Amino acid sequence: MPPLFTLADVSTMRGSADEHVHPLSGVTVDIAADRITVVVGPSGSGKSTLLRLLNRLEEAHDGVVSFHGRPIGSYDVLELRRRVGLLQQRPTPFPGTVLDNIRVARPAVTRDEAVALLERAGLGGGFLDRRADELSGGEAQRMCLARTLAAGPEVLLLDEATSALDAAAAKVVERTARDLAEGGLTVVLVTHDLRQARRLADDLVVLAGGEVVEHGPATRLLRRAKDERARAFLGGSS
């Protein structure tokens, strides 16, 4: 099966032309469909930047990012973002009720559809009329997940989406991610938590210093990574 995303020699730049840094440098990697790909690496290694390239919240300075074999820039960016949903690190409830939040993503959603989305994200229908800003951190993050799913994405990007949650709430989001992947959604997850990577990853991408130092099936990399930096990270963080 052809890869869903292809990054070919991709670099990003932040700052001015005179004074800048490259969060990612010469990244080449494929991301397969219908699997959970986990991107790991130390802080500042460019994990979130890589993720944000996939829904064009970041732009490649050099190289090409492709989606379904087409350069990502050739898609209508708003349509692309509905197809490639993102759940951020911290919950971002919008004003109003949980239903109001879901309607931001899908204005015509019915109450029954909204309840189904909440249940898919591990929340009950009883939350529908609750004020979004009164939810706990875990509940708010699951509401944000339901809101992201409301747009009907085929890919779900999770940017350290459980790092601000307690263990129980994180487990629920993880289980939901696994269920979604089994239901045919492609999941790309960024984490610095290697135990989480072990629990979830079908494929692993290991970043260090803005470069991909290893990528491939998680079972192989976790057992025997070739690159020294990958070995140091995968061994040291577990």
Partner 1 sequence: MTALAAETAGRTAVPVPPVWGIALTLVLVAVTAYVAVDQRLGLARDLAEAVVRAAVQLVAVGFALRFLFEHTGIPGSLGWVAAMVLLAGRTAGGRASGIPHGTRIATAAVGAAAVGTVGLLVGARVIEATPRIVVPMGGMVVSAAMTGATLTLSRIHDEVASSRASVEARLALGLPSAEAFAPHLRLALRAAIAPAIDQTKVVGLITLPGAMTGLIIAGVSPVVAIRYQIIVMYMLLGAGTVAALVAARLAGRALFDDAHRLRRIES
Residue 109 exposure: Cα atoms within 13 Å on the Cβ side: 26
Q: Nearest 10 degrees: CA dihedral of 125, 130, 131, 132?
A: -30
Strand, coil or helix: 11: strand
Q: 46 and 23 in contact (C-beta within 8 Å)?
A: yes
- Min dist CB 39 to partner 1, Å, is 17
Query: Applying CB under 8 A, does 64 fall inside the site for partner 1?
Result: no
Query: Applying CB under 8 A, does 180 fall inside the site for partner 1?
Result: no
Query: Applying CB under 8 A, does 21 fall inside the site for partner 1?
Result: no
Q: How many CB atoms lie within 10 A of CB 124?
A: 9
- Min dist CB 38 to partner 1, Å, is 20
Query: Applying CB under 8 A, does 77 fall inside the site for partner 1?
Result: yes
Q: Which two tokens stand for residue 101?
A: 């939040």
C-alpha–C-alpha distance, residues 141 and 126, integer Å: 16
Among 11, 26, 63, 92, binds partner 1 (CB under 8 A): 92
Query: Applying CB under 8 A, does 57 fall inside the site for partner 1?
Result: yes
Closer to partner 1 at the Cβ: 46 or 230?
46
- Min dist CB 109 to partner 1, Å, is 12
C-alpha–C-alpha distance, residues 10 and 216, integer Å: 18
Among 10, 58, 170, 234, binds partner 1 (CB under 8 A): 58
C-alpha–C-alpha distance, residues 117 and 20, integer Å: 42
Query: Applying CB under 8 A, does 206 fall inside the site for partner 1?
Result: no
Query: Applying CB under 8 A, does 154 fall inside the site for partner 1?
Result: no
Query: Applying CB under 8 A, does 120 fall inside the site for partner 1?
Result: no
Among 74, 79, 112, 124, binds partner 1 (CB under 8 A): 79
Of 51, 41, 8, the C-alpha closest to 214 is: 41
Query: Applying CB under 8 A, does 61 fall inside the site for partner 1?
Result: no
- Min dist CB 108 to partner 1, Å, is 14
Ranges of H-type helices in 8-136: 47-53, 77-83, 98-105, 111-120
Q: Which two tokens stand for residue 128?
A: 């529908």
Q: Name the site residues for partner 1 (rule: CB under 8 A).
A: 14, 55-59, 73, 77-79, 81-82, 85-86, 88-90, 92, 94-95, 104-105, 144, 147-148, 151
